[in-house]
Amino acid sequence: MTSSRLKIPGELIPTQGHAFDFHMSSRSRNFLGALWERPDPVLAEAGVAGELVVAKIRLGLAAVLLLIPAINTAFFPVEPTESIVGLSLTGATFLLSIVVYLSISREYNPSWLSFASSGLDVTVVSSGLALFLFMNEPHTAVNSKVVFEGYFLAIGATGLRYDKRVCITAGLLAFVEYLAIVYVAATHWDLNSPIYSPYPYGLFSWSAQISRFIIMLIASALSLSLVARSQRLLQLATSDPLTGLFNRGYIDDRFAVELSRARRYGNVLTIAVIDADRFKSLNDKHGHASGDLVLRRIGMVLRDSFRESDTAGRYGGEEFVVILPETDLGAAERKLESLRELMASTPIALGTRGEKVCVTISAGLASFPRDGQHTADLFALADARMFQAKREGRNRVVAGSEDVVEAGIPEKSSSSNRV
């Protein structure tokens, strides 16, 4: 059957092949974008702990490696050049390891540090192999069965950072650096010449080197897969199945992470506690299926109303929480007012009978450092202000009230007791 659509002059109508190419191109962009996306902040915080573990191991290994040339120089006859090079390399590695460890242990963890430290691990291994070239031992450089395995330790350690970008960059860096070492060795020495007989480290073979490159890439892919799997498991474990928002456990962890970051960098942070008004009455009148539809709709509105850096989650029942980093109380109040107006003016269809309802929300806000220094205090105050909004007639946002502060923070009630 031919299409009845008329072609407008100068218009390009996509063919099936063009549509397929566009679809494949879009999927490729999405795939590459997923590989290079930033890790979830909670997972990134776990990566900081992993970075500290790697820093401790690195420091210990560097100290042991520093002892080897020092002992050789002190007790055994060693070529002066070899001694100087060995001590310089291990000494520099030890000093850098100390700097990285002190930086992380003192909570200095800029976004580039994981890239730099994993690059340091890879480059230390490459430097050890390059040292053999400098000592005119090219076979050791390209056929080493001890130093080369250090690449796998460096690549495997990237998984503890929980960042796919670190896995990719460390794997590529190891590949490029080792390729440069092999290329220099193969072009500057006749590696299979009889003068190197009996070849204690074996003959040079490109097939053996290609196998090493393949294994190196496989190790990088495994590390990348483990991080991707960790991210997927985190997503499954932290999602609310009804609304698709984050769940209570994730919100608690994320709030602690964001508050720690705000305290570290001197930023403001606001938390909003939101509750659907008269939700119990809606459930009693229209049924729980209709209540679920309302909760899903609120979840959709929350997802579309805030920045990517904000975090919205369902805390329980009809209660929702939004964390707004680098947002003061005034700006957060304006955002919540817009959300409240949008919810109040948006009819929600209930099932197939054509019934529609408009659901209002009440919200309370609390801000760091103005309203408190700890997660429990800030959340309790925001919750108390939400209850104040209920008492004052619902369908409103309370960002601050002396009455709440003076009266103290009431004990948190369950969602089923809210109206």
CATH of the domain at 409: 3.30.70.270
Query: Tokens 């976004």 — which residue?
Result: 111
> Strands 361-368 and 311-316, how do they pair?
unpaired
Same-domain check for residues 219 and 326: no
> How big is the CA angle at 409 (ends 406 and 415), to the nearest 5 degrees?
145
φ, ψ at 315 (rounded to 5°): -90, -20
Q: Are residues 254 and 231 in the same domain?
A: no
Band of pLDDT at residue 402, cut at 50, 70 and 90? very low
Query: In the predicted model, is pLDDT for residue 19 greater than 60?
Result: no
Q: By C-alpha distance, which of 178, 190, 371, 354 is closest to 269?
A: 371
Question: So what's the pLDDT on residue 286?
Answer: 84
- Domain range for residue 90? 41-237
Contact 106, 128 (CB under 8 A): no
**In the listed set 178, 208, 237, which residue is the last one of a domain according to the structure?**
237
Q: Do 183 and 140 fall into the same domain?
A: yes
* Tally of CB atoms within 10 A around 117: 26
Alpha carbons within 13 angstroms on the beta-carbon side of residue 32 total 5
Task: Over range 262-273, report the average pLDDT.
Answer: 94
CA distance 310 to 105: 28
Structure tokens at 136: 């005119």
Q: What is the pLDDT of residue 86?
A: 66
Residue 11 in any domain: the answer is no
Same domain, 367 and 272: yes
Residues 305-337 pLDDT 10s: 999 889 999 999 999 999 999 999 999 999 999
Query: Is there a domain that residue 1 lies in?
Result: no
Identify the CA nearest to 117 among candidates 165, 154, 162, 156.
Answer: 154
Number of structural domains in the chain: 2
Quick one: tokens of 298? Answer: 């609120």
What letter represents residue 306's amino acid? F
What is the structure's pLDDT at 300? 93
Selection from 390, 367, 387 nearest residue 377 by Cα: 367
176 and 274 co-located in one domain: no
Tell which of 237, 256, 279 closes a domain.
237
If asked whether residues 74 and 97 sit together in one domain, one would say yes
Residue 336 falls inside a structural domain = yes
Query: Per DSSP, what are the bridge partners of residue 197?
Result: none
Q: Which of 51-65, 354-368, 388-402 has the highest mean pLDDT?
A: 354-368
With CA atoms as reference, report the closest residue to 138 among 196, 197, 185, 179: 185
Per-residue pLDDT band for 352 (boundaries 50, 70, 90) equals low
Percent of the chain with pLDDT over 90: 47
Residue 288 to residues 130, 275, 298, Cα–Cα distance (Å): 69, 17, 15
| 7, part of any domain | no
What span, in angstroms and rounded, lies between the C-alpha atoms of 215 and 414? 55
Last residue of a domain, one of 180, 205, 237: 237
Using only C-alpha atoms, the chain has a radius of gyration, in whole angstroms, of 30
Number of Cβ within 10 Å of residue 278's Cβ equals: 18
Is the domain of 196 the same as that of 340? no
**Is residue 28 in a domain?**
no
Same domain? 255 vs 219 = no
If asked whether residues 183 and 108 sit together in one domain, one would say yes
Residues 186, 119, single domain; the answer is yes
What's the average model confidence in pLDDT over 399-403? 64
Tell me if 174 is assigned to some domain: yes
Residue 267 included in any domain: yes
Q: Closest Cα to residue 62, out of 99, 90, 86?
A: 90
110 pLDDT exceeds 60?
A: yes
**Is 368 within 8 Å of 378 (Cβ atoms)?**
yes
Cα torsion through 13, 16, 18, 22, rounded to 10? 110
Rounded CA separation 83/75 (Å) = 12
68-72, 144-148, 193-197: segment of lowest average pLDDT: 68-72
Q: State the first-to-last Cα distance of the chain, in angstroms, to the nearest integer.
A: 59
Q: Flag whether 19 is in a domain.
A: no
For 12, other C-beta atoms within 10 Å of its C-beta total 8
162 shares a domain with 260: no
Residues 186 and 227 in one domain: yes
